[in-house]
Amino acid sequence: ATRPYDDSNIFARILRGELPCKKVFEDDHVLAFHDINPAAPTHILVIPKGAYVSWDDFSGRAPDAEIAAFVRAVGRIAREEGLVAPGYRLLANTGGNAGQEVPHLHVHIFGGGPLGPMLS
C-alpha cells in the first residue's frame, strides 16, 4: 500500500506556483522542468498534475487518459530536446529502497551525453 498523498511536498508547491521552476513543457495533465541538481547534461523531471505519490500509485489508480498523456509527454519532451538520436534514459525512483526523495511521482529524463551504466 502507498502512503497518502502529502500536498506540502515540493513538487505540489511547484504545481501550485508557490515555488519557481525552469519549465520545459506543460499541458492539462503534465508539467516538466529542469532538475535543480542535474546529474547529467540534460536532466528533466516530468510529473503528472494529479496527486500521485509514486509510479506504483499512478499506475494503480490514475485514469487511462492521464496515463496516456503522461507517457506521450515524456516521449515528446525527449524528442523535442533532441535526445532520441543520441539516446537517453528514464528513471522513476519508487519508495525507500530506490531513495525516492519527493513523494510526488516524477520520471527523470537523463541525456545530453554518455550516461554510464547507472544513474540515481
Catalytic residue set: 106
Using rule CB under 6 A, residue 35 touches ligand 5GP: yes
HEC string for 5-61: CCCCCHHHHHHCCCCCCCEEEECCCEEEEECCCCCCCEEEEEEECCCCCCHHHHHHH
Which CB, 33 or 70, lies closer to ligand 5GP?
33
Among 51, 67, 102, 115, binds ligand 5GP (CB under 6 A): 102
By CB under 6 A, residue 114 contacts ligand 5GP:
no
> CB of 85: closest distance to ligand 5GP in angstroms?
25
Among 15, 24, 29, 33, which residue interacts with ligand 5GP (rule: CB under 6 A)? Answer: 33
- Cα distance between residue 51 and residue 95, in whole Å: 16
